[in-house]
Copies of this chain bind each other. A is one copy, B any other.
Amino acid sequence: MSTDVEAIKVLAAQLRIDSIRCTTAAGSGHPTSAMSAADLMAVLLTDYLHYDWDNPDLPNNDSLIFSKGHACPLLYAAYKAVGAIDDAELLTLRKFGSRLEGHPTPDIPWVEAATGSLGQGLPIGVGDALAGKYLDKLPYKTWVILGDSEMAEGSVWEAFEIASHYKLNNLVAIVDVNRLGQRGETMLGWQTDVYQARIAAFGWEAIVVDGHNIEEIQQAFAKIKDSEKPVAIIARTEKGHGYSKIANKNGWHGKALGKDQAIEAIDEISKSIGLRPDVRVDVQKPEDIKPTPQAANGNGKLPVYEVGDDVATRVAYGDALKAIGLADASVVALDGEVGNSTHTETFSDACPERSFEIFIAEQQMVSTAAGLQNRKKKVFAATFAAFFARAFDQIRMGAISQANLKLCGSHAGVSIGEDGPSQMALEDLSMFRSIHGSTVLYPSDATCTAALLLQMKDLDGISFLRSTREKTPVLYESSEEFSIGGSKTLQSSDADKATLIGAGITLHESNKAAEALKAEGIAVRVIDLYSVKPIDKSTLVKAAKETGHLVVTEDHWEQGGLGDAVLAALANSGVQFKFSHLAVRDMPKSGKPAELMNAAGIDAGHIADAVRNA
């Protein structure tokens, strides 16, 4: 049964007034984008949301994702209306030290994902909804409030298609079509019929409403519970609705009202309901249901590889993920339609119920991971390392969301061979190094891959493991230990004339170069730099001091990868050393791996020459 329309109008008026008040107090912000969605929010809070504000970690809480992050004054006004924050805190909006930032972040306990880069809320919601429907099997709903400008982002359409593919009828998109973007009319303006046709074609129930007509909104929400499809409520609204001087007028995006304007606006809104609203809404609490436990049936024993056997680290990724995932039922794997290349399929074959195919939609793959980890899953997502570039913005936002994302990129560098540069990751180390708080791992053999993957499972933040397409010899016994932030010195002596530093395929080239040099009577040290970030500074400083010459070789562009990481680690070490940096400098072509590594100057011959020529 729906709440009385008049009561909802009072709440909506208060949400508008508080959106104005806090932005005017801040002197900046987006009150008009908040005002357009106030009626939608009022209905949601009053009759449909299930959330325990005192227990944001409750597994059966609904998810409320505010994709139009700039309109967060409305979200914060809602927090006040439900009693989660007080008025004094509301008025700290955008001030230094306040958790009520210009766009929502999880520093606020009821925010599960940072928003502000548009078009990411619904994709994350897909992850939450997948967890509810298929893993935890809980009845919570995921509500996503979107703006209309962000409907232009392709990432939103990836979310629509994946949500319908997985029949996520526990996911609701509320689209606030206020017609006006930052600089004028949006691509579709008020063509709600076009939005409806597109969303319906993507397999959703799509309902158009007047977003300021409470009864219409209520009727639309009432349809959600019986839908077998995900539901979109497409609401025609006015930006700045409630204050006639600016409602539906261009030029009012991202502008706070002046004090006099604010008083006038609050007065007009109050008059429309006949009182100055001061209400509190009691949001329904969810049923106290625990997640359905997933079956774990493995012993967690990592795969064992024989030293000297040829095993691609991408194969070890699959083997290890299966072992780890069988033993820990919170592990989930995502594939971007390349599971037979990344070897995610090894896990998926063993644990199909915890594997999701996201098809060739890398942005959605990363956002799905972000949503699933909101629900306490340990999510490994893999594709060709090059194609994580497609999701850089989602990964960047993941760091702001304090998300734990475990990403594996295969097919790194020119050593993939014939497929050519479009498939070669040559900037992925740079990309992941520059992500805040990230961990960047680049194992050189199967044993190390498995050992690092096990540690990744419980790492906080964004972690990335780069795997190699080609088979490479196993270097380490299964008893070998690998710490994140460590390295392995494969050979060293007092006579070392240089230190060869590599990871992945280039470590093996470094080993071959060391052999060749040894035959010539030149001793060199070899370091396996499997942990690119954090980096083993002390070992590097020691090597520079003792050998005086570092030869860093990487299957990556010269910027942002191993070379830059090593130099940064050695800054201020006080050690003088010669630095040879062998990296990819010209655009590679198709060819055999050995031909391409030679052409790029990163094979054993070039490494040995760098030592000989020093």
Contact = CB atoms under 8 A, between A and B. Distances in A.
Given A392-B431, A431-B392, A434-B431, A153 B361 contact: yes
A118 B396 CA distance: 22
A421 interface: yes
A95 interface: yes
Contacts of A339: 183
B567 A152 contact: no
Interface stretch (A472-480, A503-511, A519-527, A571-579): A571-579
A424 to B, nearest CB: 9
Given A158-B153, A161-B187, A587 B400 contact: yes
Contacts of A340: 182-183
Nearest to A200: B201
A102 B187 contact: no
Interface stretch (A127-135, A265-273, A555-563): A555-563
Contacts of A421: 105, 114, 116, 400
B578 A572 contact: yes
Interface stretch (A48-56, A280-288, A448-456, A590-598): A590-598
B337 A418 contact: no
B419 A103 contact: yes
Nearest to A573: B579
Interface string A388-400: 0110110011011
Interface in A323-381: 335, 337-341, 345, 359-364
A563 B568 contact: yes
Contacts of A430: 430-431, 433-434, 559-560
A340 B435 CA distance: 29
A94 B418 contact: yes
Given A102-B420, A389-B393, A420-B105, A589 B97 contact: yes
Given A103-B420, A149-B360, A589-B101, A433 B187 contact: no
A541 interface: no
A591 B96 contact: yes
B165 A187 contact: yes
Interface string A227-266: 0000000000000000000000000000000000000000
A433 B556 CA distance: 13
Contacts of A561: 434
A301 interface: no
Interface in A153-175: 153-158, 161-162, 165
A422 B587 contact: no
Contact of A364 (B154, B200, B435, B437): B154
Contacts of A162: 187
A117 interface: yes
Contacts of A363: 154
A352 to B, nearest CB: 13
Given A117-B387, A187-B359, A560-B559, A181 B427 contact: no
B396 A393 contact: no
Given A153-B360, A436-B557, A560-B560, A590 B393 contact: no
A596 to B, nearest CB: 7
A119 B336 CA distance: 13
Q: Counting chain B CB atoms within 10 Å of each CB, which of A118, A161, A361, A397 scores highest?
A: A361
Given A94-B418, A152-B158, 16 more contacts: A94-B591, A101-B420, A102-B419, A102-B420, A105-B420, A105-B589, A116-B421, A183-B335, A186-B359, A194-B203, A201-B201, A390-B392, A392-B431, A427-B431, A431-B431, A559-B560
28 contacts: A96-B589, A102-B419, A102-B423, A105-B589, A116-B422, A116-B423, A153-B154, A153-B158, A153-B361, A153-B390, A154-B156, A154-B361, A181-B359, A194-B203, A197-B201, A362-B393, A389-B392, A400-B587, A427-B431, A427-B435, A430-B431, A431-B434, A559-B560, A559-B564, A567-B571, A572-B578, A572-B579, A574-B576
